[in-house]
Amino acid sequence: AARALIGGPEIVIADEPTSALDADARDQFIDLLSEEARRTGAALLFVSHDAGLATHFDRAV
b/e for 25-51, b at 16 or more Cβ within 10 A? Answer: ebeeebeebbebbeeeebebebebeee
Dmax over CA atoms of the chain, in Å, equals 31
- CA 45 to chain centroid, in Å, comes to 7
Q: Is the pTM of this model over 0.75?
A: yes
Q: What is residue 1's predicted lDDT score, i.e. its pLDDT?
A: 63
> What domain range includes position 24?
3-42
Better-scored residue on pLDDT, 5 or 35 = 35
Q: Does residue 51 belong to any structural domain of this protein? A: no
The pLDDT tens digits for 11-57 are 999 999 999 999 999 999 999 999 999 999 999 999 999 999 999 99
Q: Does residue 27 belong to any structural domain of this protein? A: yes
Q: What is residue 3's predicted lDDT score, i.e. its pLDDT?
A: 76
Q: Does residue 24 belong to any structural domain of this protein? A: yes
- Residue 6: pLDDT band (50, 70, 90) is confident
